[in-house]
Every structure is written in C-alpha cells, then in structure tokens.
Structure 1
Amino acid sequence: MEITYLTPDEHGEVEWPSFDNDRKAVVTLGAFDGMHRGHQAVIRRTVELARQHGAFSVVILFNPRPAFVHGWAAKHDGTEPTAANVDAEALTSAHERLRRMEQLGVDHVLVVRYTLAFASKSYIFFLGRLTGKLGMRTLVLGQDAAMGKGREGDVAHIANLAAATGVFELDVVDDRGPGEVRIPRDFKPEMPEQWGEPHDPLAGATKAERRAWSKKHQARAMRAWSSTNVRYLLAHGRIQDANAILGEPHGIEGVVVHGEERGRTIGFPTANLGTDVEGYIPVDGVYAGWLVDLGPASAQDGQGSMSSEVQSESQSNMPAGREESADCDAALRKPLRWPAAISIGTKPTFSEKTGLHERVVESYCITDDWLELYGHKVRVEFTGFLRPQVKFDGPDALVDELKRNVEETKRLTA
C-alpha cells in the first residue's frame, strides 16, 4: 500500500498526485475514525470495484477529523488546531486507520491534512480535481456522506452531478448497520455504578418509554454504525456493544512508563501508560482485556507517542511526499499478548494538549512470567467492563476484589 501525505496551501488547494494514465481510480473518502463495520463496508466495496475494473483503489483520509477542526475553530475565534493540540475524542490514530486499510487491500491512501481553507471548497470543485487529477471513474460513499463547503455535497447532489456530467459513477454503500439508535446530545462520559457489563437503557422499552427517555436526554437519532455511537458506548462502559460495531476489540496505544508502583506492593504490578495515548480512552472503571507488546518504542515514541496530527504534519513535509508500506505495522502481525485486568482513572491534573483532565491507564497482565515493559510501546484492548472505581476498606479487601477481577478477566478473554 502506498501512502501519500498532502497539505493544502493557504487557499485550500492540494497538489494531487498523478497515477497511471492508462488506469482509472475507484475512490472513497472520509475521516474513517474507528474503522467500524460501516467504514469497512465502504472500503471493501472500493477495493472490490477497483479489482473488477482493473483500476486503483484509493482512499482519501482526512486528518485531523473535520469535526475536531471545526469544533476547535468555533471555540477559538476561527483559528485552527496545531500539531500540539491533541484530539482526545478521536477513536483511532491515523496510524491505526492506515493499518486497517492495508489489511483490507487498499492500493493508495492519500492522507490530506484537513484545514478550514480546504473545507471551504465546493464539492463540485473538489470532485473536478479528483476526476481530472486522479482519474476517478467511480466514487464510493456511505449513505449519509456529505462533502464540500457547508457539507452541500450529499449523496443526492453528487448523484445528480455524476448523471449530468457522465464523467464518473457514484456507488452508494449501505453503511448504517442494524437501524437507528438514540444518542443524547452533548453527552458526557458517565461511569456505570453497577458491577458487570452495562446494558442498553432502552432495551425492552416501549415506544412511549423511548420517547420519554429521548426527550429527557435530548437524544437524537443516529445510525447504529457510527463513530459517534461507538464513542457514546465507550463513554458509558458498554465495551461489548462498541466492539460489535468495530468488528474487533477497541484499543488504545501508548508507551509504558514508571508509575507510583502501589500495585507492586500488593502483588499486582501494572504496566502504566504515559500521558500521550493514541485512541479514545473509555470511561473510568476496571476492564477485562489484553495487553499487546509492540516492542521498544522508537525515538519519537520515547517522548510519548506522536499524535496523529503530529504524524501528518511531519510526514507531509517529506521530500518525496510518499512512502511505501509493505506492512504498516509489522509488530502487530505476531505480537506478544497477555490477558489483562485494566484500570482507568482520572487525575485532577489538567492537560493543555487535550483540554481535559489527565487519565491514568494501568494494566495487570495475567501471566506467571516477569514482564519488563518500561519504554515499550503497547496496545491495550478492551473486551468487557468489570466494575466501577470504588474505595475499599483496606488492602485486604482490595486484594480480594483484584483477585475476582483477574478471574473474570480470564473468563472474558478465554
């Protein structure tokens, strides 16, 4: 898979690369945050059509997320976020999305740094560039896709443009999943109060009860397969429901650092992630999951994993503008991994990078071997919610509870 990093100029113009003049391109585009089943359906269709027609499969990946850029601008007098500002709401880093795209068989990924100037271009102008520069013969989109200034380029408008010009075709994929869900507007993370995996509060509810709940929480209808829904589920400890949409366990990545080592004193040493974490951290609580050792961190990771924004900015300035990726993340092919009981908590310390309070992620690996993971980059994957964070009457009560957490983790990761 070939990856090209592109940064628009001050006018929002992009120097699109040129592919083989004798081959057309089948293109899709978006932020693809989370790479959930809906995203996978769109990308698989892109690859399928490209192979059918002997064309290139091309994914245009917007990074940072458009929602982050516009949200930041709205709160900061129209200014854009810099590489130092971390999108803590992003489900996955750009690196993780690229890894998944390679697994799906994509030929080319164009990582476009999303800017306000770029967003100001009309969808007609944008599609003209894709047909003229990339040789786009087919555009593949999900049902709710929209692009261009003011998101005016929805599926209906693009279909009319394709029919009128005859230059390209539009292929629309059903990426909605099993119906719609109701999600509270402007929801905040809320730790479950009960032990065990939380359930859908609307499961088994009557129509009247659903209406009352939606009114109380100012909920809006949204497709089941959506990044917003995954984020909402993770923010309420509903790991298994989130994983069902993602198609694999939700994970975060970071570098193991020295912690306060209190767990070591009671026989439960943990691997603690540093403050620079890639991926969306679920709500506070104790979880069952896995810890995956990706090996010693690189020189850049040693200072904390680079955010996706930093990666895009630094790599977009490479002279060639492209990199060959025979294997986006070889370390993930045959990793060392262990079942782990995972604790997440929140510090009172405020982080200027994320604009949120700092989070603490600690993983107790269930193994008889002594693990020395300091300075290693690791992936923490979540398979289920075990319990909320609570205070215990003493160390003995805490140890007894941790033992129960270990046994439940073994069951959930068997």
Structure 2
Amino acid sequence: MDIKTLTPDDNGQVDWPALSPDRKAVVTVGVFDGMHQGHCAVIGKVVELARQTDSFAVVVLFDPRPGLVHRYAAEHDGAELPADAVDVEALTGTDQRLRIMRDLGVDVVLQVRYSLAFAAKSYRFFLGQMVGRVGMRTLVLGADAAMGNNREGTIKAIDTLAQATGVFELVVVDDRGPGEVRIPADARPEAPTEPGEPQDPTSGMTKAQLRAWSKRHQGRRTRAWSSTNVRYLLGHGRIKDANAILGRPHAVEGVVVHGEERGRTLGFPTANLGERLDGYLPVDGVYAGWLVDLGPGESFGLASDQAGPDAAGAEEPAAKLHPYDDRGVSARCAADSPYRWPAAISIGTKPTFSEQTGLHERVAEAYAITEDGSWLDLYGHLVRVEFAGFLHPMVRYDGVDQLIDALNSYVDQTRRLTA
C-alpha cells in the first residue's frame, strides 16, 4: 500500500499527486475513525470496484479529525489546531486505521492534514481536483456523507454534479448498520457500578418508555454504526456492544513504561502503558482482553523512554517505521501468535493504594496470563491491548489479601472470556 502524506498550503491548496496517466481511480473520502463495519463496507466497495475495472483503490484520509479542528478554532478565536495537539477522543490513531486499510486491499492512501483553510474549499473544487489530478472516475461514499465548505456537498448535491458533468459516477453504500440508537445529548464517560458487562439501559423498553427516556436524557438519534456510538459505549464499559460495531476487539497501543511495580510484589506483574496512547481508553474498570507484544519501540522509531507512539521529542518522526508498514505486526496480532496472551486489564487510579501513595493519576496496565506464569519483560516495547469484556468496577479493598483474591477472580474470568 502506497501512503502519501499531503499538507495543504496556507490557502488550503493541496498538491495532489497524479497516480497514473492511463489508469483511473476509485476513491472514497473521510476520517474513518475506528474503522467500524460501516467504514469497512465503504472501503470494501472501493476495492471491489477497483478490481473490476483495473483501477487504483484510493482512500483520502483526513487527519486530524475535522471535529477536533473546528472545535479548537471555536475555542481559540479561529486558530488552526497545533501540530502537536493530542486527540484524546479519537477511537484509533492513523497507524491502526492504515493497517486495516492495507488488510482490506487499498492501493493508495492520500493522508491529508485537515486544516481550516482546506475545509473552506467547496466540494466542487475538491471533486474537480480528484478527477483532474488523481484520476477519479468513481466516488464511493456512505449514505449520509457530506463534504466541502459548510458540508454543502451532500449526497444529493454530489449526485447532481456527477450526472451533470458525466466525468465521474457516485456509488452510495448503506453504512448505517441496524438502524439508529439514542444517545444522551450530554453523555459523558460513566463507570459501571456493578460487576459484569453493562446492558443497554433502553433494552426491552416500550415505545412510550423509550420516548420518556429520550426526553429525560435529551436522547439524540445516532447511527448504530458510528464512531460516536462506539465512543459512547466504550465510555460506559459496554465493550461487547462496541466490538460488535467495530467487527473486532477495540484496542489501544502504547509503549510499556516503569510503574510502581506493586503488581510484581503481589504476584501479578503488569505492563504499564505510558500516557500517550494510540486509541480511545475505555472508562475506568477491570476488563478481560489480550496483550500483544508488537516489538521493541526502537523498531517503530520510538525512543525507549517515550510514553507513546507520537510522543514529542522523537527524532525525525516522519521517517519512523510505522507498524502498518511492517507485516510482522499482523502476524503478532494473530490468534495463534506466540506474542499474544490473554490479559486482565485495569484502567483507573488504584484506589486500594492511592491514599497511601498519594498517586491519583489514571493509568492503564495489563497482566498477561502466560502458560507458565512467567513475567514478561516488555519495558520499552510497543504493545497492543485489546478489550473483550468488562469485568468489575474499580473499588477500594480493605487489604492486600482481599485484593489478591479479587485479582485471582479477574484472571479466572479472563481465561473464560478469551478462551
């Protein structure tokens, strides 16, 4: 897969590459945060049509997320988003998205640095560039996609343009999934208070009850297959529901750093992830899942003391070896990989010891369940933590013995969930 990184100039102009003088392109456009089943349906159609017509399968990927860029501008007098800004709301970083695109069969990704100046261009101008420079002859979009200044390029507007000009065709894919769901307008992450996988609070409601619930919570209709819905589910510990939309386990990736090493003294040594993570961290709690060793951080251009995949201070970050370029990453993530272990995962502030230590920082750590119970030395390694289900809320135990009993219980539940 060929990846080209493009940065608009101050006027929003992009130097689009000419892919081939005689080979056309099937193109889709978007952020594809999370790469859920709807996104994969759109990209899958791009690849299918490209193979049928011997064309390039092309994804124009916007990064950072437009929502983050526009929100920052609204809060900072119209300023552009700083280059080193961290998007804590992104479900997946670009590395994870690109890796999935490669596995789907995409030929070219044009990764565009989304900016306010670029956003101000009309959809007609943008599509003209796609046709004239990239060689687009087919545009594939989701059912409610929109693009260009003020999102004026609706499906209807683009279809009208396609028919009027005759230089490209529009193919629309139903990427919405099984209908719509209702999400509270003021939804914030909320940790479950009971053990076990949380259930949909609206499940089993009559239409009248659902209307009352929506009115009370100002519930807004949202596509079932949407990044917004996945983020809401992860923020409430509903891992299995989120994974069903994604079509795979949700995951975060980061570099293992030194922690308090208290787990080792308890007989449960954990891999502590640094502060800078690639992926959206679910709400506080204990989870079952997997830990995957992707390899030494240096292999990905990461210094051993860095806290995450894009931490500041890395030398020549543009030249780093991205995980999606290394096919060994897919092998390491495979179900039968020797670099993959079931893991009990903790996210939170360690309430049993926080009063004693005075440390209240939110941390993510995973205890890998190895066959022989051996400890894994993964310091400085880039690891992937995948989530299979919610086990228990974070609670304060009265003593170490109670904590150890609880940890043993989490290990047993993890073995069952990941069998």
Using structure 1 for the length normalisation, give the TM-score.
0.93
The change in CA–CA distance for 1:154 and 1:233 in structure 2 (over 3 A counts) is same
Q: Any conservation in 2 of the 1:2–1:325 contact (CA below 8 Å)?
A: no
Q: Any conservation in 2 of the 1:95–1:308 contact (CA below 8 Å)?
A: no
Aligned to 1:382: 387
The change in CA–CA distance for 1:76 and 1:211 in structure 2 (over 3 A counts) is same
How much has 1:326 moved relative to structure 2?
A: 8.7
Q: Which structure 2 residues correspond to residues 168-317 of structure 1 after superposition, within 5 A?
A: 168-298=168-298, 299-302=301-304, 303-307=306-310, 315=318
The answer to whether residue 397 in structure 2 is matched with residue 392 in structure 1 is yes
Q: Any conservation in 2 of the 1:18–1:133 contact (CA below 8 Å)?
A: yes
The answer to whether residue 343 in structure 2 is matched with residue 345 in structure 1 is no
The change in CA–CA distance for 1:324 and 1:381 in structure 2 (over 3 A counts) is closer
SS at match of 1:291: strand
The change in CA–CA distance for 1:325 and 1:337 in structure 2 (over 3 A counts) is closer
The change in CA–CA distance for 1:402 and 1:408 in structure 2 (over 3 A counts) is same
How much has 1:267 moved relative to structure 2?
A: 1.1
Q: Which structure 2 residues correspond to residues 77-88 of structure 1 after superposition, within 5 A?
A: 77-88=77-88
State the alpha-carbon separation in 2 of the partners of residues 324 and 301 from structure 1. 14
The change in CA–CA distance for 1:17 and 1:152 in structure 2 (over 3 A counts) is same
Aligned to 1:38: 38
1:405 to 390, 396, 410: 410
Aligned to 1:353: none
**375-384 vs 210-219, which moves further:** 210-219
Q: Any conservation in 1 of the 2:6–2:110 contact (CA below 8 Å)?
A: yes
Aligned to 2:331: 333
How much has 1:208 moved relative to structure 2?
A: 1.1
How much has 1:370 moved relative to structure 2?
A: 2.4
1:49-105 Cα offsets, whole Å, 9 max, x none, are: 011111111000000011111111111221122132100000001011000000000
How much has 1:334 moved relative to structure 2?
A: 2.8
Aligned to 1:167: 167
Aligned to 1:371: 376
1:179-217 Cα offsets, whole Å, 9 max, x none, are: 100011131100000100000001100111111111111
1:362-383 Cα offsets, whole Å, 9 max, x none, are: 1111112221111111000000
How much has 1:347 moved relative to structure 2?
A: 8.9
Aligned to 1:120: 120
SS at match of 1:334: helix
Q: List runs of 5+ in structure 1 lacking aligned partners.
A: 349-356
How much has 1:301 moved relative to structure 2?
A: 4.7
Aligned to 1:351: none
**93-102 vs 214-223, which moves further:** 214-223
Q: Any conservation in 1 of the 2:95–2:324 contact (CA below 8 Å)?
A: no
The change in CA–CA distance for 1:211 and 1:310 in structure 2 (over 3 A counts) is farther
State the alpha-carbon separation in 1 of the partners of residues 317 and 116 from structure 2. 19
**209-218 vs 377-386, which moves further:** 209-218
Aligned to 1:102: 102
Aligned to 2:58: 58
How much has 1:19 moved relative to structure 2?
A: 1.3
1:224-283 Cα offsets, whole Å, 9 max, x none, are: 000000000000000000000001100000011110111112111111001111100000
Q: Any conservation in 1 of the 2:323–2:329 contact (CA below 8 Å)?
A: no
**267-276 vs 1-10, which moves further:** 267-276
SS at match of 2:340: strand
Percent identical among aligned pairs is 64
Counterpart amino acid of 1:190?
A: E
The answer to whether residue 91 in structure 2 is matched with residue 91 in structure 1 is yes
How much has 1:304 moved relative to structure 2?
A: 2.6
Q: Any conservation in 2 of the 1:301–1:377 contact (CA below 8 Å)?
A: no
How much has 1:15 moved relative to structure 2?
A: 0.2
Aligned to 2:356: none
Aligned to 2:3: 3
SS at match of 1:306: coil
State the alpha-carbon separation in 1 of the partners of residues 193 and 349 from structure 2. 16
State the alpha-carbon separation in 2 of the partners of residues 328 and 117 from structure 1. 34
Q: Any conservation in 1 of the 2:34–2:246 contact (CA below 8 Å)?
A: yes
Counterpart amino acid of 1:391?
A: R
How much has 1:6 moved relative to structure 2?
A: 0.1
SS at match of 2:387: strand
The change in CA–CA distance for 1:96 and 1:309 in structure 2 (over 3 A counts) is farther
The change in CA–CA distance for 1:15 and 1:325 in structure 2 (over 3 A counts) is farther
Q: Any conservation in 2 of the 1:230–1:245 contact (CA below 8 Å)?
A: yes
**22-31 vs 324-333, which moves further:** 324-333
Using structure 2 for the length normalisation, give the TM-score.
0.91
SS at match of 2:332: coil
State the alpha-carbon separation in 2 of the partners of residues 138 and 324 from structure 1. 29
**326-335 vs 225-234, which moves further:** 326-335
The change in CA–CA distance for 1:84 and 1:388 in structure 2 (over 3 A counts) is same
SS at match of 1:139: strand
RMSD, aligned CA: 2.1
Pairs aligned (count): 399
State the alpha-carbon separation in 2 of the partners of residues 136 and 191 from structure 1. 46
State the alpha-carbon separation in 1 of the partners of residues 297 and 129 from structure 2. 39
